[in-house]
């Protein structure tokens, strides 16, 4: 079949992988000759992780923070905390503040999605792991050890399409759990017996289709040109991901969920729900329902809930006007207060020979550095807990051969989580 720039001038055929009555449609492959059918997929097993649980939490802000009130004047251990850090004063020895870290990307709001990936979506094609995010890379190693390999929390409302912090290896955005009610139900509400039976039927049906198409895909790939091989590889990756999700759901179908410690909440808005979302994340970690959770603050985090008329996005473009900055700091300080409360609660929960915070790596920051100038250089980054040596403000070089990318820190976090890797995104090594 010859390629053509005009799809209307070419009759395209759909091909399938067939076995034992099951049929799996293939994507359109221009180099696939008529009659090339058969073979299938090599499905990899899901590995589980043993030992004491280590957690990974990532909290992102869509619009960054006002830098003069976020970064101290001098680095070191005796730094003076500016306004936005003051809520964290009781936890000074529990976190490290970094400046000088970023991903070397540009694009303002359109580059915020790279916060946990280090890679712009448009550049992911040439990367070994695409633009997979930190949380999803860690989740690949969890397997069925927890009910949920990861929890992605945030809003679908807001500028530029809502939450875009978490991405799969195949470049698919992970849609967020949009509110406290939905998160509560996911964690604590069990399916009815009838629904469980239907779910088992769905698992069996889908599983049998995927299992039936299990021949050797290499025979098919040898007949394709390079562009179609890449397309087919992306497709197989998606199918393997679906199969893993089916296996995990099947494994946990009959396991009762933990009993909730309080009544089911109603959704209000991101501002009022923020403390509750943090509390639910803690419960998810405590009950080992998951070991990986992300929360993106943005979307419907609206200034009107603070009796401020001008919108959050507009305030972030303050133009150095004092009134706008004053109102912006009200919103940002609230976020810092809730983050400090989150750390306090993690510290208050004994676990093993330490606390839940000791066993939880908590990353806090944003893919936006200076929203007023639309820059993504020198991102706000805080790392708390996780058993690291904390208590310092580290101002790292922003230029020259000593500059380190933020992805170097991510390599450290993955290694601490138990992932056997020496690279992530655009990393050049480790940071810690």
Q: Is residue 10 part of a domain?
A: no
Query: Higher-confidence residue: 17 or 61?
Result: 61
In a domain, 3, yes or no: no
Average pLDDT (279-304) is 91
Structure tokens at 72: 């101290």
Supply angle C-alpha 297, 151, 343, rounded to 5. Answer: 60
In this structure, is residue 70 part of a structural domain?
yes
Q: Which residue has the tokens 């043993």?
A: 50
Residue where a domain terminates, one of 215, 247, 279: 247
- Return the percentage of the chain with pLDDT > 90, whole number: 56
Number of domains within the chain: 2
Q: Read off the pLDDT of each residue in 376-384 and give the average, rounded to a whole number.
A: 97
DSSP state, residue 138:
H
52-to-55, 288, 291, 312, 380 alpha-carbon distances in Å = 10, 11, 11, 41, 30
How confident is residue 353, by pLDDT bands cut at 50, 70 and 90? Answer: confident
Compute the distance between CA of residue 159 and CA of residue 114 in angstroms, rounded to an integer.
16
Q: Are residues 305 and 177 in the same domain?
A: yes
Residue 327, domain CATH: 3.40.720
Integer Cα distance of 349 and 351 in angstroms: 6
**Same domain, residue pair 86 and 220:** no
d(CA 418, CA 164): 25
Is 431 inside a domain boundary? Answer: no
Tens-digit pLDDT profile for residues 221-230: 667 778 777 7
Last residue of a domain, one of 180, 215, 247: 247
Per-residue pLDDT reduced to its tens digit, 199-218:
555 555 445 444 544 444 55
135 and 280 co-located in one domain:
yes
Q: Which one-letter DSSP state was computed for residue 340?
A: H
Q: Residue 271 — pLDDT band, cuts 50, 70, 90?
A: very high
Instruction: Give the residue numbers spanning the domain of 235.
Output: 17-45+195-247
Please report whether residue 228 resides in a domain: yes
Identify whether residues 87 and 101 lie together within a single domain.
yes
Q: Are residues 316 and 209 in the same domain?
A: no
Residue 130 burial (CB count, 10 A): 21
């Amino acid at each position: 079949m010859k390629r053509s720039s005009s799809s209307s001038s070419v009759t395209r055929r759909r091909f399938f992988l067939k076995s034992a009555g099951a049929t799996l449609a293939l994507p359109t492959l221009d180099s696939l000759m008529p009659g090339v059918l058969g073979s299938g997929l090599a499905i990899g097993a899901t590995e589980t992780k043993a030992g004491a649980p280590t957690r990974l939490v990532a909290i992102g802000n869509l619009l960054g923070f006002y830098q003069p009130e976020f970064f101290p004047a001098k680095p070191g251990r005796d730094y003076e905390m500016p306004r936005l850090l003051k809520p964290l004063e009781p936890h000074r020895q529990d976190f490290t503040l970094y400046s000088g870290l970023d991903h070397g990307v540009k694009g303002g709001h359109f580059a915020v999605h790279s916060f946990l990936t280090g890679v712009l979506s448009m550049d992911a094609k040439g990367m070994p792991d695409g633009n997979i995010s930190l949380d999803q890379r860690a989740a690949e190693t969890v397997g069925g050890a927890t009910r949920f390999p990861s929890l992605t929390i945030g809003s679908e409302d807001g500028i530029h399409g809502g939450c875009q912090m978490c991405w799969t290896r195949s470049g698919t955005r992970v849609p967020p759990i949009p509110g406290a009610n939905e998160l509560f139900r996911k964690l604590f509400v069990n399916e009815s017996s009838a629904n469980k039976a239907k779910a088992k039927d769905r698992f069996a049906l889908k599983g049998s289709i995927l299992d039936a198409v299990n021949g050797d895909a290499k025979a098919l790939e040898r007949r394709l040109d390079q562009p179609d091989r890449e397309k087919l590889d992306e497709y197989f990756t998606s199918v393997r991901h679906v199969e893993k999700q089916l296996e995990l759901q099947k494994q946990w179908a009959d396991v009762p969920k933990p009993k909730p410690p309080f009544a089911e909440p109603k959704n209000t808005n991101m501002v009022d729900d923020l403390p509750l979302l943090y509390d639910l994340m803690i419960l998810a970690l405590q009950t080992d329902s998951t070991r990986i959770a992300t929360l993106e603050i943005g979307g419907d985090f609206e200034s009107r809930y603070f009796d401020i008329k001008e919108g959050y996005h507009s305030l972030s473009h303050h133009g150095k006007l004092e009134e706008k900055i004053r109102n912006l700091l009200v919103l940002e300080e609230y976020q810092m207060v809730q983050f400090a409360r989150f750390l306090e609660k993690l510290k208050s929960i004994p676990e093993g020979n330490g606390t839940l915070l000791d066993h939880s790596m908590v990353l806090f920051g944003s893919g936006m550095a200076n929203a007023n100038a639309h820059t993504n250089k020198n991102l706000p980054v805080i790392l708390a807990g996780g058993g690291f040596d904390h208590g310092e403000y580290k101002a790292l070089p922003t230029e020259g051969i000593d500059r380190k990318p933020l992805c170097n820190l991510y390599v450290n976090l993955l290694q601490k989580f138990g992932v056997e890797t020496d690279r992530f995104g655009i990393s050049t090594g480790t940071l810690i």
